[in-house]
């Protein structure tokens, strides 16, 4: 029942913890609508003490839209929409260890990600989130107006190249290199949220290569300024995981950063990623088609 849903804000810019719902169970349309409204309002929402099989995780995610199958990270054999994100004790590099917005390198980017904690280190391994709506609203009206006329070029070529951090070999994750078949796609540098009308910056250090129509060198000064501005502490919240915790964030207005501060320990998470419904997918322009 919706009456059991309790929502507690965790920070000023974004984030709320939700209790009173078991995500493993089939949920009513009204409950899904309430969770969706909380996500839209708070940009990232957290649940504790959940017990989700891969099939239940996928079923919950599918209530919010079609699920993405990652082009470079292998999904589970029985549930290809579910990715296991594992850092073994011997791994130096973690997955997601830098500020980014999931899947902005696709022609149709994902709208949401749902991450579930299975095994956690004794200490460390928190995730940071940053509101790009708050970041946009803190800019001057003049810069806001300028950015609304610009588009960014996004690609996985840097992050998933043979030398990129996400393509480095790991003990328990199968990650393909993007070299030779990745494309470049243009997205607005300011997105208007289709449900709230709130505007947010849509660039990120991992996947935004340059400003469309500008040279890389010309783009660097403005993008570097925005990347520094967008991670200001006042725009962020920090989530400390426990086994069974779930985080659900809106990639249209949120960056995240998985901290890699637990050397010699294992961390095992599972993620499903929600795409927009085809009829409301954002229009993007292809710069360089995949080969």
Q: In this predicted structure, what is the pLDDT of residue 121?
A: 98
Q: Annotated catalytic sites, by residue? A: 100, 102, 256, 271
| Count of beta carbons in the 10 Å neighbourhood of residue 169 | 8
Q: How far apart are CA 101 and CA 19, in angstroms?
A: 26
Listed in sequence order, the residues at least 6 apart from 142 whose beta carbon sits closer than 8 Å to its beta carbon are none
Q: Where are the alpha helices (DSSP H) in the chain?
A: 29-42, 54-62, 132-137, 141-147, 216-230
Number of domains in the chain: 1
| Count of beta carbons in the 10 Å neighbourhood of residue 274 | 24
Confirm if 220 and 209 have CB atoms less than 8 A apart. Answer: no
The two tokens of residue 95 are: 């997955």
Q: How far apart are CA 258 and CA 88, in angstroms?
A: 15
| Count of beta carbons in the 10 Å neighbourhood of residue 109 | 25
Domain boundaries, position 182: 2-288
Q: In this predicted structure, what is the pLDDT of residue 290?
A: 39
- Starting at the edge strand found earlier in the chain, the sheet holding 254-258 runs 236-239, 127-131, 254-258
Q: What is the DSSP letter of 107?
A: S
φ, ψ of residue 113 in degrees (nearest 5): -130, 140
Confirm if 277 and 66 have CB atoms less than 8 A apart. Answer: yes
What is the model's pTM?
0.92
Q: How far apart are CA 209 and CA 207, in angstroms?
A: 6
Give 228: exposed, middle or buried? Use CB within 10 Å, 0-12, 13-18, 19+.
exposed
Q: In this predicted structure, what is the pLDDT of residue 30?
A: 95
CATH of the domain at 36: 3.60.130.10
CA gyration radius, the chain: 18
> Between the CA of residue 204 and those of 49, 53, 74, 278, what are the distances in Å?
31, 32, 23, 24
Per-residue pLDDT tens, the chain, 291 aa: give them: 445 789 999 999 999 999 999 999 999 999 999 999 999 999 999 999 999 999 999 999 999 999 999 988 989 999 999 999 999 999 999 999 999 999 999 999 999 999 999 999 999 999 999 999 999 999 999 999 999 999 999 999 888 866 556 555 556 777 765 555 578 999 999 999 999 999 999 999 999 999 999 999 999 999 999 999 999 999 999 999 999 999 999 999 999 999 999 999 999 999 999 999 765 445 566 665 433
| Count of beta carbons in the 10 Å neighbourhood of residue 183 | 18
Written as one string, the DSSP assignment of 131-196 is EHHHHHHTS-HHHHHHHTT-EEEEESTTTTSTTSGGGS--SS--B---TTT--EEEEESEEEPTTT
């Amino acid at each position: 029942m919706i009456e059991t849903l309790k929502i507690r804000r965790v920070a000023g810019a974004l984030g709320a913890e939700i209790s009173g719902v078991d995500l493993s169970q089939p949920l009513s349309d009204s409950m899904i609508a309430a969770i969706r409204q909380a996500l839209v309002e708070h940009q990232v929402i957290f649940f504790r003490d959940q017990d989700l099989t891969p099939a239940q995780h996928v079923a919950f995610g599918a209530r919010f839209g079609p699920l993405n199958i990652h082009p470079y990270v292998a999904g589970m054999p029985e549930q290809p929409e579910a990715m296991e994100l594992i850092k073994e004790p011997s791994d130096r590099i973690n997955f997601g260890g830098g500020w980014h917005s999931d899947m902005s390198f696709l022609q149709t980017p994902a709208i949401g990600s749902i991450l579930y904690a299975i095994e956690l280190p004794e200490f460390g391994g928190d995730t940071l989130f940053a509101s790009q709506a708050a970041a946009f609203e803190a800019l001057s009206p003049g810069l806001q107006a300028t950015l609304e006329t610009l588009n960014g070029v996004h690609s996985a070529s840097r992050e998933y190249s043979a030398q990129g951090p996400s393509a480095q070999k790991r003990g328990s994750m199968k990650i393909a290199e993007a070299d030779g078949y990745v494309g470049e796609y243009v997205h607005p540098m300011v997105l208007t949220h289709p449900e709230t009308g709130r505007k947010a910056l849509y660039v990120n250090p991992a996947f935004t290569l340059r400003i469309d129509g500008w040279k890389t060198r010309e783009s660097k000064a403005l993008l570097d300024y925005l990347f520094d501005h967008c991670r200001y502490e006042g725009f962020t919240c920090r989530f400390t995981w426990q086994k069974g915790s779930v985080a659900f964030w809106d990639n249209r207005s949120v960056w995240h950063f998985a901290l890699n501060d637990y050397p010699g320990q294992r961390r095992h998470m599972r993620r499903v990623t929600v795409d927009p419904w085809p009829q409301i997918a954002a229009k993007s322009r292809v710069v360089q088609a995949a080969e």
